[in-house]
Amino acid sequence: MATARPGDSLVNTTIEVLGSDPSDHAVEYDGRWYTFGDLKKVADRIGELLQACGAAPHVSVGFAPRNRPAAVAALLGLIADRRNVQMLYAYQSGLSLVRNFARLQSGVLLADAAEFTDEVVEQLAELGCAGIALSDMGCELVPGLEYASRATQRSPDDQPCIEILTSGTTGAARQFPLSYEELEKRFVTSNVAFAKDVLKDVAPPFVCYPMGNTSGLYSILPSMLMRLPIVMVEKFSLEAWHDHLVRFRPTEIYLPPSGMQQMVDSDIPVEDLACARIMRSGMTHLPVEVHRAFEERYRVPVLISYGATEFGGVVVQMTEEMIPEWGEKKLGSTGRAYGEAQVRVVDSDTGEVVAPGEEGLLEVLVPSLSPDWRRTTDIARIDEDDFVYILGRADGAIMRGGFKILPEAIEGPLAQHPAIADVGVSGVADHRLGQVPAALMVLAEGAAEPAPAELEAFLREHVPATHIPVVWRFVDAIPRTSSVKVARAALKALCEKLES
């Protein structure tokens, strides 16, 4: 009898899911339902191709998924095959994708067929990597990338993980591993039994967040493991969200903060939300005025949550039970510490815990993940009733819709342009997305001023599409501190002055 291994429950549950009635609906995409039978065909084919390309069972797979049914099938297939999965963002240039993949210890890149341009294939071949291309509901080895010869450092005894790229809440973005055992506890033990008794008749969730990040994974994987169908879109649109609302009449609805601003600006009838008991929101800051305007118009209470990849998901949440007593009193709060998580606010210089109501840096403790408090780059305060208020980012991060963008991630690549002597990036207000990046640059001596289109094309070779600035301005100097770091507050003020 085989010895049980950590994470086996997740693997076995996934295999059972793929063996569901092949005619049952699994994913609706672009007006068409795909069944669990459709998903199983792709998942099984992934396993066949991994064997065919010589990728040993312990070899990691780099996965750059787009929000499409084939990618959902691929994720399930990788878990069923007990693979270590290293997530990548799909929406970036080919050169940027290869550069980020090269930093990983992966022997295979699994991505949409559109990602495998001639240039990408050439560079992956030099790395000795195999490539598996997803197209519609099929997948094949990429010509020229049929064999995985790249050496990796993983041992056959290492427990597999899904490694998600963090968004910068606790520092620079990096791969954060969630072991199968941890995923099993969060998605299998706690959710599946509950779903079988309670959730069979609920409306299918509306999934709009990218699969490669925590929110996307948490939107997709639990539903699939519970054999619950989902409605998936590649990117959020209010039109698609509204269509889901009127067709399925969910009692719990979800909108990102940028989507809620669009709702307030829209002409969506109040009666269309009559089915909703609560509205959930999170990922980034929701302005109090938008929160109030939505509730006053639609009479649906908004429950905000806060979390991060490094914490395994949500750690602070406003719950439905809090609304009668605290809803109006605590407008703008993200709620209280959730589950096993503990939170506190400390002085950024001394590290001492501050008094209730005082501002500082938020720290989080999740005992099952780590015995240590982890400091975030979020400025917060916790009031005398233990309600948490997120006030902004100490690191100057730009909150573009649901994406957290560190200015340095744009400044470094942009500074490589030969016409730029210095650069500083800050967020400027955007009515729809909350914030968008603005780039202030100093022209190199003797250089001709490049057009925004040229700078954008240059930058797209280095960063994802979400990082491309909307505002481009040349200035005499970038404000800096005595230690020669970009003075973020002064830079932001300069951006606001130039835009006013």
d(CA 272, CA 252): 13
Model pLDDT for residues 51-71, shown as the tens digit of each residue: 999 999 989 999 999 999 999
Is the predicted pLDDT of residue 170 greater than 60, yes or no?
A: no
Mean pLDDT (the chain, rounded): 87
Residues 6+ positions from 432 with CB-CB distance below 8 Å: 258, 261, 262, 265
pLDDT at 198: 46
**Averaged pLDDT, 449-471:** 91
d(CA 257, CA 304): 9
What number of CA atoms fall less than 13 Å from residue 331's CA on the CB side?
13
> CB under 8 Å, gap of 24 or more: what pairs does 276-280 form?
276/250, 276/251, 276/252, 276/300, 277/251, 277/252, 277/320, 278/251, 278/252, 278/253, 278/302, 278/303, 278/320, 278/323, 279/253, 279/254, 279/255, 279/303, 280/252, 280/253, 280/254, 280/255, 280/304, 280/305
**Averaged pLDDT, 77-105:** 90
pLDDT at 169: 57
Q: Please count the helices (runs of H) and the strands (runs of E) in the chain.
A: 15, 25
The third-level CATH classification (topology) of the domain covering 8-183 is Rossmann fold (3.40.50)
The DSSP H or E segment spanning 231 is strand 230-232
Where is pLDDT greater, at 167 or 100? 100
3-state DSSP: the chain helix, strand, coil percent, rounded to 5? 35, 25, 40
pLDDT at 481: 66
Among 2.60.40.1180, 3.40.50.12780, 3.30.450.20, 3.40.190.10, name the CATH number for the domain at 235-393: 3.40.50.12780
Is the predicted pLDDT of residue 366 greater than 80, yes or no?
A: yes
**Averaged pLDDT, 298-318:** 87
pLDDT at 295: 92
- Listed in order, the ranges of the chain carrying CATH 3.40.50.12780 are 8-183, 235-393
d(CA 60, CA 106): 5
Is the predicted pLDDT of residue 159 greater than 90, yes or no?
A: no
How much of the chain exceeds pLDDT 90, in percent?
52
Highest-scoring range by mean pLDDT, 201-210, 422-431, 476-485: 422-431
- Listed in order, the ranges of the chain carrying CATH 3.30.300.30 are 398-499
Write the burial class of residue 446 (CB in 10 Å: 0-12 exposed, 13-18 middle, 19+ buried).
exposed
Mark residue 335 as left, alpha or beta (left: phi above 0; alpha: psi -120 to 50; beta: remaining): left
pLDDT at 71: 97
Q: Is 40 helix (H, G, I), strand (E, B) or coil?
A: helix
The C-alpha R_g of the chain, in whole angstroms, comes to 23
Model pLDDT for residues 115-131, shown as the tens digit of each residue: 999 999 999 999 999 99
Is the predicted pLDDT of residue 164 greater than 90, yes or no?
A: no
Tokens of 19: 């063996």
d(CA 500, CA 494): 10
d(CA 283, CA 1): 45
Report H helices in 178-271.
Answer: 180-183, 192-198, 214-225, 238-248, 257-265
pLDDT at 194: 45
> CB under 8 Å, gap of 24 or more: what pairs does 493-496 form?
494/440, 495/426, 495/428, 495/438, 495/440, 495/471, 496/428
Residue type at position 94: G
**Any bridge partners for residue 473, and if so which?**
440
**Averaged pLDDT, 411-437:** 87
Model pLDDT for residues 101-118, shown as the tens digit of each residue: 998 989 999 999 999 999
Mark residue 343 as left, alpha or beta (left: phi above 0; alpha: psi -120 to 50; beta: remaining): beta
How much of the chain exceeds pLDDT 70, in percent?
92
Where is pLDDT greater, at 110 or 430? 110
Query: Pick from 159, 158, 145, 214: which is nearest to 186 by CA?
Result: 214
Cβ atoms 84, 163 nearer than 8 A: yes
Is the predicted pLDDT of residue 245 greater than 70, yes or no?
A: yes
Tokens of 282: 């999170």
Query: Pick from 246, 302, 235: which is nearest to 269 by CA?
Result: 246
Q: Is 475 helix (H, G, I), strand (E, B) or coil?
A: coil
| Cβ neighbours around 247 below 10 Å, total | 12
This prediction's pTM:
0.80
Model pLDDT for residues 367-404, shown as the tens digit of each residue: 988 899 999 888 889 999 999 998 777 767 888 877 77
Is the predicted pLDDT of residue 197 greater than 50, yes or no?
A: no
The answer to whether domain 398-499 has CATH 3.40.50.170 is no
Where is pLDDT greater, at 130 or 258? 130
Model pLDDT for residues 216-230, shown as the tens digit of each residue: 888 899 889 989 899
Is the predicted pLDDT of residue 5 greater than 60, yes or no?
A: yes
Is the predicted pLDDT of residue 172 greater than 80, yes or no?
A: no
| Cβ neighbours around 269 below 10 Å, total | 11
Is the predicted pLDDT of residue 303 greater than 60, yes or no?
A: yes
Is the predicted pLDDT of residue 488 greater than 70, yes or no?
A: yes
Is the predicted pLDDT of residue 28 greater than 60, yes or no?
A: yes
pLDDT at 185: 76
Residue 352's pLDDT band, with cuts at 50, 70 and 90, is very high
pLDDT at 7: 81
pLDDT at 54: 93
Residue 283's pLDDT band, with cuts at 50, 70 and 90, is low
Residues 6+ positions from 370 with CB-CB distance below 8 Å: none
Is the predicted pLDDT of residue 193 greater than 60, yes or no?
A: no
First to last CA, the chain: 72
pLDDT at 377: 82
